[in-house]
Amino acid sequence: MQKKFIALAVAGLVSGAAFAQSNVTIYGVADVTFDNVKADNQAAGNVNAFERSNRVSANSSFIGFKGTEALGNGLNAVFQFEAAVANDNGGALSFNRDTFVGLSSNSWGTVVAGTLTGPTRALGASMDVFAGATGIGANSGLIGKLGNGLTGVTTDANGAPVAPGVGATPALGRSTTQTSIFDTRWKNAIAYVSPSFGGVTATAAYVANENHSATINTSGYDLGLNYANGPVKAGITYNAVTLKNQATNALTPLLGLGNDVKTNDLRIGGMYDFGVATVRAMYDRVKLESSLGDIKQNVWGLGATFNVSSAGKIVGQYYKAQDVKGTVALGAGADTGAALWAIGYEHSLSKRTILKATYANLNNATNANYDFGINATGGAVNNSTVSGFQFGMRHSF
């Protein structure tokens, strides 16, 4: 009854007699864990420093509304509103997840516009072994970050760009998301997804330069090709983002990287499902080009799952970010990489409810300061190790 009431409320907001014929689905995930995390080598005397901390974390919990309306001749109108839920601290709903409207057809594919997950982010998440690709063990702690200099989004609340240079990372906060710009949903985006041809689908997304101002003009595109047939899944994606600085003082918005900064991410991944176990591998190469020079970094990872019973499975993965190569002035050099390994156990109480336990360890080289991608500790510094345990429950509805 409650679900029907909410569906009617959403229908009233969207409008129209035609909408009464739509099928609206309410769905979501409630994922909460009790964590014990640690970050070492923090500066002595820092009032915000900590050795070990307990916390309760919402691991990408969300609620969504989606629906379709048959328009005839195989054409459908589709929509989705998806909001993050901070169910660990009573935070307000924020519809900053995949939220869009579009048209779909079995013959020519789907076109949607709004806030979207691009194919690069989707491929990274699909290669992650943890349910929902979330928590402290998620591969987003390392992939796409280019020496931890491409975290967050391409613009801040005031429209100024987040500096993409290595070592120019925005201040880390406790329990915050610290994923790369390639692993963040694109705002003001439009995308096309092809039908499946023998298991092969193609995706193309464009990010509009709606933030165009006197100081910044950001745009990009994201392309992907995926194959899924039986036990085999594989994909290759390419995501390019251009930050154009239009200010007279190049040092202000882009920290001296020049008037045009181009970044791109090439990602290749594959998985094989044996039934009782899965194995997966991914390669990620990020590059930045500016008037001051170029830098790039390779990241690779391996993951596996193994069913120990009909209800329980062990999951684990290892990811290695190699040293940043290229122009030293932009942060390239020795000991700029990191390694992340994580292992966990997931036990299904039903098709929709699991209990889970995770241990993750992210070890930074001498000149690197990576933190967890989901629920960062906020204490990562150069040459530090961040680690932690998570115990909790994930329910899908």
Tens of pLDDT along 184-215? Answer: 898 899 999 999 999 999 999 999 877 666 55
User: Averaged over 94-112, what is the pLDDT?
Assistant: 94
Q: Which residue has the higher pLDDT, 146 or 11?
A: 146
DSSP string over 214-241: SSEEEEEEEEEEEEEETTEEEEEEEEEE
Which pLDDT score is estimated for 150? 79
Q: Which residue has the higher pLDDT, 39 or 128?
A: 128
Q: Quick one: pLDDT at residue 164?
A: 41
Residue 96, pLDDT > 80, answer yes
Other residues' Cβ atoms within 10 Å of the Cβ of residue 4: 10
Mind giving me the DSSP string for 132-201?
Answer: GG-STT-GGGTTT-TTTTSBS-SS-TTSPPPP-STT-PPPP-TT----BGGGSPEEEEEEEEPPPBTTEE
pLDDT at 251: 30
C-alpha–C-alpha distance, residues 181 and 262, integer Å = 13
Predicted local distance difference test score (pLDDT) of residue 211: 62
Name the least confident of 33-42, 208-217, 306-315.
208-217
Question: d(Cα 151, Cα 274) in Å, to the nearest integer?
Answer: 35
Query: Does the pLDDT of residue 140 top 90, yes or no?
Result: yes
Q: Is the pLDDT of residue 161 over 90?
A: no
Which of 138-142, 197-201, 209-213, 240-244 shows the lowest per-residue confidence on average (mean pLDDT)?
A: 209-213
* Higher local confidence (pLDDT), 215 or 97: 97
Containing 2, the helix (H) or strand (E) segment is helix 2-14
**pLDDT score for 130:** 98
SS3 339: strand
90: DSSP letter: T
Q: Which residues have a Cβ under 8 Å from the Cβ of 299 and sit 6 or more positions away?
A: 142, 143, 144, 283, 284, 285, 286, 319, 320, 321, 322
Q: Which CATH number fits domain 31-60+117-185+199-396: 3.40.50.300, 2.40.160.10, 3.40.30.10, 2.40.50.430?
A: 2.40.160.10
341 pLDDT band (50/70/90 cuts)? very high
Tell me the pLDDT band of 328, cut-offs 50, 70 and 90.
Answer: confident
Burial class from Cβ neighbours inside 10 Å (0-12, 13-18, 19+) for residue 338 reads buried
| Residue 274 one-letter amino acid | F
CB-CB neighbours of 312 under 10 Å: 14
Reported pTM: 0.87
Q: How confident is the model at residue 41 (pLDDT cuts 50, 70, 90)?
A: confident
Look at residue 49 in the predicted model and tell me its pLDDT: 61
Residues 6 or more apart in contact with residue 197 via CB below 8 angstroms: none
